[in-house]
Amino acid sequence: MTRSMEHTRPASPPPSYVLERRVNQPAYVIARTLRDRTKIAPVDGFALDTGTLVIDEPPRPTARAAARGQRSWRTTARLLGVRGQLVARVDIEIASWAPGSTSVQLRPSDHRTHRWGARRARRYFALAHAGVDRLERLLNDEAASYVPARDAKFKIRPIEAGDFEGLRALFWRLSPESVYFRFLAPVQRPPERFLHHLAEVDHNARDALVAVVDEQIVGVARYDRNDTDPRRAEVAVVVEDAWHRHGIATRLTSELSKSAHDRGIEQFTATVSADNRAIATFVRSLPVRATWAWDAGQRQLAIPLRHHIVS
């Protein structure tokens, strides 16, 4: 082996100057923030530890869409050092990448980054990482305060096998309290197989309906027929926190009970946390008399599906 071959090493791949963060909020929610110049493009920019991110103007919608229902916005910005000197101009793209989630991508406007020296590259990465993190926090914080209009429109449809991604996105938008009330356990991350199990039903022994706003799932109601007594079925309902008190749970339960009644199911049952006061209020609003029983610190609920509740 020659000396030149001994010292030959494979070339390392060039660094990626494109940075991306993902926001677990649907595009229709963050769109409000993107239109607000004072929030998304303040005059003084966003202060970072080692400089400033200055967004030139609010992002504008683009015609590019990878799939039906997706949205995309673009704008430009400047990364400035601690003394206000320009480090890099960047392009920012914000786009929905899955139901209920949005990506924030930042990339240099200069296509000759391979000519950058090590010092400039280090300054760029320090500012770019801090800048895209700041945008992610902004969009998450603003979305957390989102309250839908009282007359906001939603539609009810049967769940589909491909809805497992929409269910995943819904899970990440639920508060810890809503997750606990739904699963009666502090679930940290929904397993892939479990999501497919929830989405794939036979619309007979197992069925589910979803409430949808702009192609995003905001609520689910489902039942599982009892194996030993086919006249009974366990029911579960969950609605995204921002959409509480919009009548979604009532509509979902009503439509699901109609389907269950037509299939010979006479009673819904459910295990409810003793701390879940909202479900108690909801059950009292039904036009039938539900019965409660205590079992190991939890309440067992039984709702008769008489004709006048499903008509």
| Per-residue pLDDT tens digits for 231-280 | 999 999 999 888 888 889 989 999 999 999 999 999 999 988 878 877 87
Q: How many CA atoms lie within 13 A of 186 on its CB side?
A: 1
Instruction: Find the domain containing 37 and state its range.
Output: 14-144
Give a yes or no: residue 275 inside a domain: yes
Q: What is the pLDDT of residues 139-183, one digit of tens each?
A: 988 776 766 665 668 999 999 999 998 898 888 888 888 888 888
Give pTM, 2 decimals.
0.59
Final residue in a domain of this structure, among 144, 166, 193: 144
* 225, two tokens: 């027929």
Choose one of 103, 123, 144: the last residue of a domain.
Answer: 144
Whether residues 164 and 260 share a domain: the answer is: yes
* pLDDT for the residue numbered 281: 78
Scan for tokens 């209020």, then name that residue: 281
Structural domain count, the chain: 2
> Residue 221 maps to which CATH number?
3.40.630.30
Quick one: which of 169, 195, 190 has its CA closest to 103?
169
Whether 59 and 196 map to the same domain: the answer is no
Residue after which a domain boundary falls, among 115, 144, 173:
144
CA-closest candidate to residue 243, choices 10, 28, 17: 28
